[in-house]
Structure 1
Amino acid sequence: MPLHRPSQSPARAGKRSLFALTRAIARAVACAGALGCAARAHGAGLQDVHVGMGLPKPPYIMESGEAGLDYDIAKQALAAGGYKLVGQLLPQTRALAMLRGGQLDGMLSTNEGIGGQDYFTDTYIVYQNVATTLSSRHLDIRRIEDLANYSVAAFQSASMLLGERFRLVASKHQGYREYASQITQDKLLFMGRIDVVVGDHLIFRYFSGKLEAQIDGTQAVTQHRIFPESPRKAVFREARVRDGFNAGLKIIRANGTYDAIVKQYLGSAP
């Protein structure tokens, strides 16, 4: 004989309906939250971070100020950490003054050599600085201290970024100059105005092909590898932005974005 199921009371049925409605609302809220997270992950609602980038130094920062090996890595690291990079092309010395005056949130491509109490990120890119000379000059440069014997054109803030030995040479050297625009270094070397250019080998190579027709940028050069690799960091006024950058950097290294950017500009991943 089939069991008899008593009919539910109106009160009990009402409780069940209220419970079902509550669960439906909870699911809807959770779904909305997930969609919000997904939107933020794709760039919606990211907080702007205004950053000084130096002047163009291809292939790291292109002339547009919106592309380059350095720029793209920093942009993607910030985005993965919840921030949007808003870059400004500025001489490094001006960018540093603006950072310390509260007019910028951060700077790219620097290190602790600039001093200050701001927050430095993990290393996100590595430059290789060299001393470049015209091969026809046959200059003997085997160590940093040998630069004291020659006139030198370096990139802006080199004396703060290239270590204590270089800082000491630069501070006592009357023939030492720094230039905000790095194409100027190439011009001076190929025109015979200075003996040595100090800067990244890729930047020098790029600008050698951008000189005026009357300057022979095809002359053979010798690159003296007297400097160690130069790890570069970003620096921010707020620790939370630094932390977001570092977290984002780990994400783009793990998911292949970092290597894809390097391959785009250099042809191979490290």
Structure 2
Amino acid sequence: MKYLFLIFILCFQNIFAKELILASTKSMPPYLYHNEETGIEYEIVNEALKAAGFKKIRRIDVHFRRGIILLNMKEIDAITSNMANNLYDQVKHPIYSSNLTLNYIDCAISLKENNFQLNNIKNFYNKRIWAFKSASKIFGPKFEEMTKENKGYTESFDQKRQVKVLLRKRIDIAISDKNIFLSRLKLESSKKDGKKLFNFHSIGKPTKRSVRFLDKKIRDDFNKGLKTIKNNGKYKEILKKYKDLYSQEC
């Protein structure tokens, strides 16, 4: 019996001694600054893993389609993602989504001078729209129907040029997380009040974020770590650190 207990302890220790490989989407301030290894989402996930006992965490930079391939090949252990992204159904192995880590605040963004009224999906049909990849699958069936019928609708992984293209009036609406858009705006514009040039329209509930794991036990440990940092104040401390960069509504 003593030996069985010892084996259990050794196996338990090995789980946390092993390097955990975590994939994240490409650098998107304020959620993730790859060069600086910081950002609100980065720190929440990292602190939750540390609270769960994981010491060795290696991060790699991928877009989600590459992430699906790596999950299929079991070359990564986990990936940060939108909870509602059903494209991960393509993964051949069981994957386990964590509890909510934080929300992305996705908005329809237009130039204030245009005075668009975007409180009804019908008002999107005749607009030139640039959205983030997979947006058509996130905002419900009516929005998805619009994306199929509107020839001016397009999606892209790379959102870096959204601010510039919208300012130059080459599109009518940018669909983006508000905080990512405003972070890009700070880099693209020298105007301190550049935010006042835009209207931010709500297009649904905030987009829930989570971490998807190949191993159910690791997912469960992560959830415990996430609960720990919410209870001990660390989670609130991270939100406070980024309060000027993270708005929680459109």
TM-score category, normalised to shorter length: 0.7 to 0.9
- CA distance in structure 1 between the aligned counterparts of 2:112 and 2:189, rounded to whole angstroms: 21
How many angstroms does 1:226 deviate by?
Answer: 2.2
TM alignment of 1:1-270, pairs within 5 A? 46-64=17-35, 66-83=37-54, 84-114=56-86, 115-116=88-89, 117-211=94-188, 220-267=197-244
Distance 1:78 1:160, change over 3 A: farther
For residues 126 and 161 of structure 1, the distance between their equivalents in structure 2, rounded to whole angstroms, comes to 13
Q: Which runs of 5+ in 2 are unaligned?
A: 1-8
1:187 aligned partner, one-letter code = K
Structure-2 separation of matches of 1:237 and 1:145: 40
- Cα deviation per residue 1:24-75 (whole Å; 9 max; x = unaligned)? xxxxxxxxx9xxx9xx8xxxx6432222211111111114261100011001
How far 1:212 sits from its partner (Å)? 6.9
Number of residues of Structure 1 aligned to a counterpart in Structure 2: 227
Deviation, structure 1 residue 208: 0.6
Per-residue CA shift, 1:120-168, capped at 9, x if unaligned? 1111101111100011122221133432221111112222333333333
Q: Match of 2:187, SS?
A: coil
Q: Would you say the 8 A contact 1:153–1:185 is kept in 2?
A: yes
Q: Which moved more, 1:146-155 or 1:256-265?
A: 146-155
Shift of 1:97: 2.8
Could you tell me which runs of 5 or more consecutive residues in structure 1 were left unpaired when the two chains were aligned: 1-32
Task: Give the TM-score taking structure 1 as reference length.
Answer: 0.75
Give the alignment's Cα RMSD to 1 decimal: 2.7
Specify whether residues 47 and 110 from structure 1 end up closer, same or farther in structure 2 by C-alpha distance, changes over 3 A only: farther
Q: Which has more radius of gyration? A: 1
Give the TM-score taking structure 2 as reference length: 0.81
